[in-house]
Amino acid sequence: MLAAFATGIDADDPLAVLAIGDRPAPSAPEGWIRVRVRAASLNHHDLWTLRGVGVRDEDIGTPLGTDAAGITDDGREVIVHAVLGTAGPGDEETLAPDLHLLSEAGVSGSHAEEIVVPARNVIPKPADLSWEQAACIPTAYLTAYRMLFDRARLRPGDHVLVQGAGGGVSTAAVILAHAAGIEVSVTSRSEHKRAAALALGADHALAPGDRLAGRADAVLETVGAATWDHSLKSLRPGGCVVVAGATSGGNPPAQLARLFWRGLSVLGTTMGSRRELEATVRMLMTTGARPLIDATYPLSDAARAYERLAGGETFGKVVLAVGG
């Protein structure tokens, strides 16, 4: 089968070890099912894999990708839930001691013509979602949904600051928060991305570090060190910052005095549960909101898709069209 995969590890030039070619089709263990991929989206996780983060030597050559939508062998149109592992406390798979995603721990990823997943790791794809839209949901939109509504527990009328407009999770957060009646502020170094965020439904678009008109109830943080000080200063007393990534560095000064004096909370989160994936899809269908797609490429041209993502100029999701 055709797939995108790593031929090695290169921390400085990840695209140098990306290959598009033939790989063995995965076999389905007992309790797993096959999905013939129709569309798959890219995430920065895929670039980190090429850099060697979380990769074992024996995993080199495993197809990349966590997000997919496709058709099962029995003809069902499905969205694939990318979170694998033995369920943790409260049947919560994101707290599993062996938490891993598709394309990790030797499990074949979604940037391929076929994948196999546990039977519980698929949910129905609504007919009103295109294959490309459906393939955007399992990482970025699921993560944003959990950050907004499970971890920060935001409600209509609350105010959220989303750091770093344009990325997959931040764009998803703007779309979902706006659909829920939440006031949205975003930051970006790019004037173009600030304007695009406003067109998408953000209420305020700021340059990094600019003062908000009013303090936020919550900040969604995926940037890390470069925005951490601004995130803490932007919160109202008792507010929270929800962290799902740290692309600019993971060790900023903690500012413990500000945390305890202002009663702030720092909440970590990774991906989301199958239940939350179903809730994310229901919200999209109920509100009419849809994932924003930056660009679509055929699987055979996945190198250009990865280049697009690595270039840092995307606004929305980069998608691979696979079958059909």
**DSSP class per residue in 97-109:** TT-EETTSTT---
- Spelled out in words, what is the top-level CATH class assigned to the domain 141-268? alpha beta
Backbone angles phi, psi at 123, to 5 degrees: -130, 160
Contact 10, 275 (CB under 8 A): no
pLDDT of residue 48: 93
**DSSP codes joined into one string, 255-309:** -HHHHHHHT-EEEE--S--HHHHHHHHHHHHHH-----EEEEEEGGGHHHHHHHH
Q: Distance between CA 143 and CA 270 in Å, rounded? A: 7
What's the pTM value of the predicted model, to 2 decimals? Answer: 0.95
Q: Distance between CA 142 and CA 205 in Å, rounded? A: 23
Contact 187, 207 (CB under 8 A): yes
Where along the chain do its domains lie? 2-136+292-321, 141-268
Backbone angles phi, psi at 137, to 5 degrees: -80, -40
pLDDT of residue 268: 96
3-class state of residue 74 by DSSP? coil
CB neighbour list of residue 125: distance below 8 Å, 6 or more residues apart: 69, 77, 78, 79, 131, 134
In tens digits, what is the pLDDT along the chain, a chain of 324 residues? Answer: 999 999 999 999 999 999 999 999 999 999 999 999 999 999 999 999 999 988 888 889 999 999 999 999 999 999 999 999 887 666 678 888 889 999 998 899 999 999 999 999 999 999 999 999 999 999 999 999 999 999 999 999 999 999 998 889 999 999 999 999 999 999 999 999 999 999 999 999 999 999 998 999 999 999 999 999 999 999 999 999 999 988 888 999 999 999 999 999 999 999 999 999 999 999 999 999 999 999 999 999 999 999 999 998 899 999 999 976
Q: Look-up: residue for tokens 């995965």?
A: 26
Q: What counts of helices (H) and strands (E) characterise the chain?
A: 9, 17
Same fold, 2-136+292-321 and 141-268: yes
pLDDT of residue 313: 87
Nearest to 224 by CA among 241, 199, 201: 241
The CATH homologous superfamily for domain 2-136+292-321 is Medium-chain alcohol dehydrogenases, catalytic domain (3.90.180.10)
